[in-house]
Chains A and B, each alone.
Chain A
């Protein structure tokens, strides 16, 4: 299923709420948690990560992954946490509204 424009950023922020991790892991987790419904096209994942970083919502540093390979770890910044809360709220209002409309007969 294709992701709606802009929702990828929200999903990335949400995934990082659990703790710092690297790009591949973020993609995996989104896929797993959504039970394979949402597949993150890697082609859009990295631009999204770099965009979020340029906006100051996440920060990155190099660290060691499993079997000691160098990987770039992303983590949520304070601004990112606020942004996540704001985006989550607006997402919920949006889907709630859509649902209300769909429920009417």
Chain B
């Protein structure tokens, strides 16, 4: 057997030698045969001829001998590849067009897929991620906690609320009572931290982790050690673990970072280690906490005194819990085991809520159910925000690739008919049809692979652009897209598939040749009108590009509408940033004094016209909200009863340019000692006071507090959460009368607000050098960010729609040129018989126009059927917006007409005499 293998391998790798030997062997045979014939008395010529006749076809024998050696497949593949490469090199124009087209199509798919890979497919970079489960809860009733931080989402199908967090005691009970989980660990995101290292204060993101977080996940440090159970005790020294990214950006990958002391919100922490680069630090895909601190240190660094005191209460829910399944245990078994534990803890917590923290409708509550879901891909919340838009983008790029395929199929079809004679000759010489198809397919796959290689490079470059995208409601994706094996496999599969997709039909039609007529004809090959297949390709291209362009039109209009939305305040020349003095230990009255001192400084900065502050920036989808109760009026139903509280400085309306409609604005005299006042917006006036004049009336944030706050004025509505949402009810309250959870400064500048950033930082440093300025944005940037998804959609569908249009017009042009070239003789004849140039022109254009019209009709039908799926992404424009469709159809028609006109003009310029002599 071994010697047999040696023979085969030799045939594969020493091909020339083996072929020579085969030649020699057969020649020897023929000579012997000839000798024998001579001996029988034939003449030398006769003897040789007889030998040849008895031998049969020499080439056939050779071919069969080659067959038996095996590896024939690879030999032929190599042969086909070289032949294909030669054919492609011979037509550089065709090849580069095709490769570029494919590169754009495949590159777009690869880039989008790398995002899909990162967000939807990748497992957490931890040990056995498939064993991890995430615990959360769902309820259809009222919530059973007094305070909660984390996320609560509503399932659109069931209407149930799904919450992410548990109380710390509940986590401890899970850990001590479970038999089904080998590890139970907890974590909680931290808001901004003031991190001071070597005298430099900066804001960092962080998370609290329980002592078994890293052992439970199976994450090993790259430097130092990770937090362990001993670090997570009340009395332990505070320690911190850095994420790789933070280690790089803040410490320059300093290997001696372990042992350094950093101050976090004024508390000294000892750095003990760094987690690996692939591990983003946290469990949410795309989020990357800079610092991880032991759970027990949470209360110490929390600037809010209430949060500090309630951290271990079972009515305060703030930790997120994950577990690792024991072998053979299902998620359902975990749920069955721990649901009772959870409900018991929730009930005890509810009964223990102190009177001051009880909500107005405190009473018996429905118990929430426990959910145990796969945790291997990290937390689902971010994923859910990305999933639908990503699917839409995959469809868009998929369509572009289809158009590209159709285009190349058309080019190949044209070429195939030019190669008909070559193919006919090869068929006549005994090549099998299958073999020829295989060779043509090899050629097209080779083309696709070249396209994919270039597309890979394009995707490599484009992926960073993609990361700038953030769907509304999700945070910025802090991932780096890796072009890993999954992306590679995807690209390779796409290349192979497209190669076969666009190559198969032309290969089939090229080899379906009636031998005799083709061979009899002269060198120009067969003629006939356009193949039906080529025509339908053009129709399909027109239809699909119409679909994409319609999408682009709708998204561009959406974006335009959102940009021209009346915001209700002036977003131009507005610089926003945050300062959090509480993180540095400022307390009570000091905070207000510091703020006023800062405002004074800012207003003295050249280029700054005025300065104010509020708790939240506008258009950031964040805010403080709750039910409000008006004195002397029945409370609104719980579903309607929701007021955003914007705690702001008295000059907020002047700086933001929100006009006052009735009563008075806020004044410096509305301070902590003065009676509580509020200015409300139009919506609140309408919803809470009906037609009555609200000025002078009272309301409060609690049923028994309805007499607390006096309405002193009404201002015009301004957009609050984001541009696409109507303004909610907003009450503006002097920040001096309520404490601020966070603080956003707003500076109205004379010129470009970005130019003032450095002077502002300088001004802050002069007041307190340890107060970092963070989240610096202009209001216009914030408004743009809120439209990130719309812009991405408009941009993607726009670019790809134009690309599709370009490809479709090239396709149409190619097909019409080919048709004209094929019919040169006929056209010449018609002209010789008296047809006018105009007649020919009309006839050719008519043919192209018919194809275009059919394509447009199909595209319109498809668009009308499909655009309703994007309704939820549109704003101020209907999914069947007539102007958009009219414009798109018009654009397509004009482009198609141009694509047909050029070949038609060529046809009309044909000189009849030349054309007839052409035969």
Q: Which residues of chain B are near A72, meaning CB under 8 Å? A: 21, 24-25, 28
Q: Tell me the complex Cα distance, A43–B64, Å.
A: 9
Residue from B1, B31, B55, B68 in contact with A79 in the complex, judged by beta carbons closer than 8 Å: B1
Query: Is A42 engaged at the interface, CB distance under 8 Å to the other chain?
Result: yes
Contact B7 A23 (CB under 8 A): no
Q: Tell me the complex Cα distance, A51–B4, Å.
A: 9
Query: Is A96 engaged at the interface, CB distance under 8 Å to the other chain?
Result: no
Query: Is B252 engaged at the interface, CB distance under 8 Å to the other chain?
Result: no
Given the contacts A24-B29, A54-B70, A70-B24, A47 and B1 also touching, CB distance less than 8 Å: no
CB distance from A79 to the nearest CB of B (A): 7
Contact A56 B21 (CB under 8 A): no
Residue from B28, B60, B70 in contact with A43 in the complex, judged by beta carbons closer than 8 Å: B60
Query: Is A103 engaged at the interface, CB distance under 8 Å to the other chain?
Result: no
Contact A42 B69 (CB under 8 A): no
Q: Tell me the complex Cα distance, A72–B32, Å.
A: 13
Q: Which residue of chain A is the closest to B21 with respect to CB atoms?
A: A72
CB distance from A76 to the nearest CB of B (A): 12
Contact B3 A77 (CB under 8 A): yes
Q: Which residue of chain A is the closest to B57 with respect to CB atoms?
A: A43
Query: Is A55 engaged at the interface, CB distance under 8 Å to the other chain?
Result: yes
Contact B3 A69 (CB under 8 A): no
Contact A53 B26 (CB under 8 A): no
Contact B28 A70 (CB under 8 A): yes
Q: Which residues of chain A are near B21, meaning CB under 8 Å? A: 62, 72
Contact A53 B4 (CB under 8 A): yes
Query: Is B61 engaged at the interface, CB distance under 8 Å to the other chain?
Result: yes
Query: Is B364 engaged at the interface, CB distance under 8 Å to the other chain?
Result: no
Residue from B4, B57, B68, B69 in contact with A56 in the complex, judged by beta carbons closer than 8 Å: B4
Total CB contacts across the A-B interface at under 8 A? 70
Query: Is B33 engaged at the interface, CB distance under 8 Å to the other chain?
Result: yes
Docked complex: B791-835 residues within 8 A CB-CB of A: none
Q: Which residue of chain B is the closest to A57 with respect to CB atoms?
A: B4
Query: Is A91 engaged at the interface, CB distance under 8 Å to the other chain?
Result: no
Contact A23 B55 (CB under 8 A): no
Docked complex: A9-61 residues within 8 A CB-CB of B: 22-24, 41-44, 46-47, 50-51, 53-57, 59
Contact B70 A46 (CB under 8 A): no
Query: Is B56 engaged at the interface, CB distance under 8 Å to the other chain?
Result: yes
Q: Tell me the complex Cα distance, A70–B25, Å.
A: 9
Given the contacts A54-B7, A54-B8, A46 and B32 also touching, CB distance less than 8 Å: no
Query: Is B2 engaged at the interface, CB distance under 8 Å to the other chain?
Result: yes
Which interface residue of A47, A57, A79 has the most chain B CB atoms within 10 A?
A47
Contact A24 B33 (CB under 8 A): yes
Query: Is B529 engaged at the interface, CB distance under 8 Å to the other chain?
Result: no
Which interface residue of B24, B32, B54 has the most chain A CB atoms within 10 A?
B32
Query: Is A71 engaged at the interface, CB distance under 8 Å to the other chain?
Result: yes
Residue from B5, B55, B69 in contact with A50 in the complex, judged by beta carbons closer than 8 Å: B69
Docked complex: B52-80 residues within 8 A CB-CB of A: 54-57, 60-61, 64-65, 67-70
Q: Tell me the complex Cα distance, A62–B24, Å.
A: 11
Contact A54 B61 (CB under 8 A): no
Q: Which residues of chain A are near B31, meaning CB under 8 Å? A: 69
Q: Which residues of chain A are near B60, meaning CB under 8 Å? A: 43
Q: Which residues of chain A are near B67, meaning CB under 8 Å? A: 47
Given the contacts A23-B29, A43-B57, A54-B68, A59 and B3 also touching, CB distance less than 8 Å: yes
Contact A42 B61 (CB under 8 A): yes
Q: Which residue of chain A is the closest to B63 with respect to CB atoms?
A: A47
Contact B61 A46 (CB under 8 A): yes
Q: Which residue of chain B is the closest to A79 with respect to CB atoms?
A: B1
Q: Tell me the complex Cα distance, A14–B67, Å.
A: 24
Q: Tell me the complex Cα distance, A28–B470, Å.
A: 83
Docked complex: B17-42 residues within 8 A CB-CB of A: 21-22, 24-26, 28-29, 31-33
Contact A56 B2 (CB under 8 A): yes
Q: Tell me the complex Cα distance, A62–B22, Å.
A: 12
Q: Which residue of chain B is the closest to A44 with respect to CB atoms?
A: B64
Q: Tell me the complex Cα distance, A73–B4, Å.
A: 16
Given the contacts A69-B31, A70-B28, A46 and B1 also touching, CB distance less than 8 Å: no
Q: Which residues of chain B are near A70, meaning CB under 8 Å? A: 24, 28
Q: Tell me the complex Cα distance, A69–B27, Å.
A: 11
Q: Which residues of chain A are near B68, meaning CB under 8 Å? A: 47, 50-51, 54
Q: Which residues of chain B are near A77, meaning CB under 8 Å? A: 3
Q: Which residue of chain A is the closest to B32 with respect to CB atoms?
A: A24
Residue from B2, B54, B61 in contact with A47 in the complex, judged by beta carbons closer than 8 Å: B61
Q: Tell me the complex Cα distance, A60–B25, Å.
A: 11
Given the contacts A22-B28, A42-B61, A72-B21, A56 and B1 also touching, CB distance less than 8 Å: yes
Q: List 9 interface pairs A-B (beta carbons < 8 Å), by A numbering.
A: A22-B28, A42-B29, A42-B54, A42-B61, A44-B64, A46-B22, A46-B26, A47-B68, A50-B65
Q: Return the 3 tightest CB-CB contacts between A and B, nearest first.
A: A56-B4, A43-B56, A51-B68
Q: Other than A46-B26, A50-B69, give 17 A-B pairs with Cβ distance below 8 A.
A: A23-B29, A41-B56, A42-B55, A46-B29, A46-B64, A46-B65, A47-B64, A50-B68, A51-B68, A54-B8, A54-B68, A55-B4, A56-B1, A56-B4, A56-B5, A59-B3, A71-B25
B-side residues, CB < 8 A to A, are 1-5, 7-8, 21-22, 24-26, 28-29, 31-33, 54-57, 60-61, 64-65, 67-70
A-side residues, CB < 8 A to B, are 22-24, 41-44, 46-47, 50-51, 53-57, 59, 62, 65, 69-72, 77, 79
